[in-house]
Every structure is written in C-alpha cells, then in structure tokens.
Amino acid sequence: MWHVSCVVSSCSGVQLMGCSKWRAAFNFGHLRVQSKLSVFLTMIILFTYLFYSLNGYCDSLPRPVYDQKSNLQNQIPIDDGHEASAQQLGAYNASRVVREQLSDLSHRDAPSSNISIANNFGSKKFPQAIIIGVKKGGTRALLEFLRIHPDVRAVGSEPHFFDRFYDKGLDWYRNLMPRTLEGQITMEKTPSYFITKEAPRRVFSISRHTKLIVVVRDPVTRAVSDYTQTLSKSPGLPSFQNLAFRNATTGLIDTSWSAVRIGIYAKHLENWLRFFPLSRLLFVSGERLVTDPAGEMGRVQDFLGLKRVVTDKHFYFNQTKGFPCLKKPEGSSRPRCLGKSKGRPHPQIPSDVLHRLRNFYRPFNLKFYQMTGHNFGWD
C-alpha cells in the first residue's frame, strides 16, 4: 500500500519513487484547490466593495433638503414663558391666509420651520432678523456694516413686504431673500415697518422668534434729516417750520407730517410690544453708530448670536462726510463709504423752531427711555 510505504522510513527505493510521485500529485492538486479558493474569496471581496461603493455614491447624489413642517400651523403661538395675549391670539386667528400659504408652501416645497427651499448652494429662508426702523436713523449704515460679517446674508434693497407688498404673498417674499448656508443669518431692512400699524401682526404671524432691530436717533435731528432728503427730491417744498407747525403762532406741532410722526418712538414701540417681548428687540443708537461704530456693532452681533467679527479695525472716520466708512477691503483699490445722499448738509432751521420741537418730543423721549431701559441722551 502506497500510503503505508510513504510513512515507513525504511521503505525501498521503488517505494520511495512511488511516494515522491504521489507527493507531487498531492501538492499540485492542493495548489489548484488553494488557487481556486483564493480566486473565489477575491471575487467575493471585489463584489462586496463594488456594492458598498455604488450604494454610497447613490446616497451622495444631490437631492432637495427639506425640514419638518412649521409648527406655526399646528399650535397657538405663546410668548416665552407667558400666556398668549389677546393681540397674539388675534394675530394667530386673523392670519388664516398666511397659514394657508404656509400650508401650500409645505406641500409644494416641503419647507422647514423656517420655510426654506434648499439646493446645492444654500437655502432661501424668511429672515431671522429684520431692521425695522427708523428712517434716517442710520439703518443703511448698520446693514452695510453687518454685511461684512461672513455669517450674515442680507437683501440689498428694501423689500417693503409687511407694509406695501403683503398681498404678493409669502412665496414672493421668500424668493427675494439671498441663499444662506447652515449657520448663516438671513436679514432684510425696511425702516417703515416700525411705524406701520399692521407690520407687527404680520411679522408675528410668520415667526414669533424673529429678532427685530431698531436704529433710533434724536427725533429733532432725524426730522431735519428727513426733510433734507425730501427737499433734495422736491426743491419747491415749503419750509421746515411751515410743515412742522399747524399754527406757527401757537406753536402747535403737526403730528400728521411724517417727518414729525416718525420720531414719536414710544407710540410706535407700544404697537410692537403687543406682539413681541422686549427681549426680541434691540435698540441701536444712531449717534453711537457714528461716534463708536465698533461698540454698537458689538452689541448687534451679540444680539444676533454672532461671533464678534466686525470690530474697530474695519472702520475709519471720514471727515468730509462726517461719519465712519469701511476700510479698504483686500483686493480693492478704495474704501467703502455710503452713497452721496448720506451725510448731505442740512438746511439752516431757526433755533426757536428746533427748541419748540425739542419740547414737544421730551415727554415721548422720556417714556421711550423708560420702555427700553436705555437713556439715549437726547434731552
């Protein structure tokens, strides 16, 4: 028997030759089996790798990113830590059109609680923060300063959605917004919102979490600046004093004139506080925005939850214009200042007219200081 003779160490020469042949055959067969097994295992590994590679590729293909539907459609909005006020409930119940539009948008675009449309380059969202006022207070300067921040994206022009174009609908408004990435803030600026009676309810009906910024300025100086702007467009305008007083003899102020009415800040603020808590509003000093832009910008960035990126290194004071400009950005040949319409010289107003106007505003200013908890030093 061959296997016996192979084991026995004292096998004969013939037996040894048979053993060698058997061993060679055995080793050759063993190698063939081992080779087939290696090929089989290699094929399994390759197929497994291809399967997971293709699966990962499909998952990486671009697709719309949609969040959950806004809670606005399903719950009555309540102020943080407080029961909903009658005005808030009224805004919720009266905003059926808004809720229907939100529902339409959710079915059409499956938007998030911020009602966003997403693509590879970011999402169009409703603004998380709005500069709502005031005209000639420094709103344009504030917006331009904010746009330096890499996490702020803002509409360049004033949308006027909540005062003039509300009937155009939410889709129209959202499409005006720039696309933002995760962690960026969408903003817009329309100073007339602050004095528009319907604006607080309309903003609230979309999001009660919107942050509101109001740039305020000495109402007397603001009124003169407002008049100066109008005069540049209508040279035949009556004098400031003729427009400011109903009766020049008695000194009765004409509050129907918008240049005067805008400066009654306390009255307009009461309207906003019916819908938003004071914590949702930030009041920026228009005067400090000129004398200490970096300081005011620090407050604004903190309010928006942003890192303090915009600092004093970004500003220099333009002696000709009389207000700060942005230093020359990298790659630019000149610094950025606001347009020619900003910083224009004011007409000479009689001192007694300004004195009467200041007396008129004093009680409103004091009430405004009390409401905001901040003394702006106008008196």
- The span from the CA of 226 to the CA of 213, in Å, is 20
- Bridge-based pairing of strands 122-124 and 179-180 is antiparallel
The answer to the question of whether 225 is labelled as a binding residue is yes
Outline where 234-350 has alpha helix (H).
Answer: 240-244, 258-261, 265-273, 286-291, 293-303
Backbone φ, ψ for residue 260 (5° rounding): -85, -45
- Quick one: which of 250, 139, 253 has its CA closest to 194? 139
Q: Give 35's contacts (C-beta < 8 A, 6+ positions apart).
A: none
The answer to the question of whether 362 is labelled as a binding residue is no
Choice among 69, 124, 135, 136 that is catalytic = 136
The answer to the question of whether 343 is labelled as a binding residue is yes
342 touches 324 (CB < 8 A): no
Amino acid occupying residue 139: T
**Residue 211 appears among annotated catalytic residues:** no
Q: Which tokens belong to 43?
A: 């094929």
The answer to the question of whether 139 is labelled as a binding residue is yes
The answer to the question of whether 346 is labelled as a binding residue is yes
- Quick one: which of 114, 110, 260, 246 has its CA closest to 174? 114
Amino acid occupying residue 165: F
The answer to the question of whether 344 is labelled as a binding residue is yes
- The span from the CA of 276 to the CA of 214, in Å, is 13
CA dihedral 194, 196, 201, 205 (to 10 degrees): -80
The answer to the question of whether 345 is labelled as a binding residue is yes
The answer to whether the bond into 134 is cis (omega within 30° of 0) is yes
Residue 112 Cα distances to 107, 201, 212, 294, angstroms: 11, 21, 21, 35
DSSP code at position 24: H
SS3 93: helix
What is the biggest distance separating any 2 CA atoms in the chain, rounded to whole angstroms?
145
15 touches 5 (CB < 8 A): yes
336 touches 302 (CB < 8 A): no
Provide the annotated active-site residues.
Answer: 136
- Residue numbers in the known binding site for 3'-phosphoadenylyl sulfate are 136-140, 217, 225, 342-346
Q: Which residues are annotated as a binding site?
A: 136-140, 217, 225, 342-346
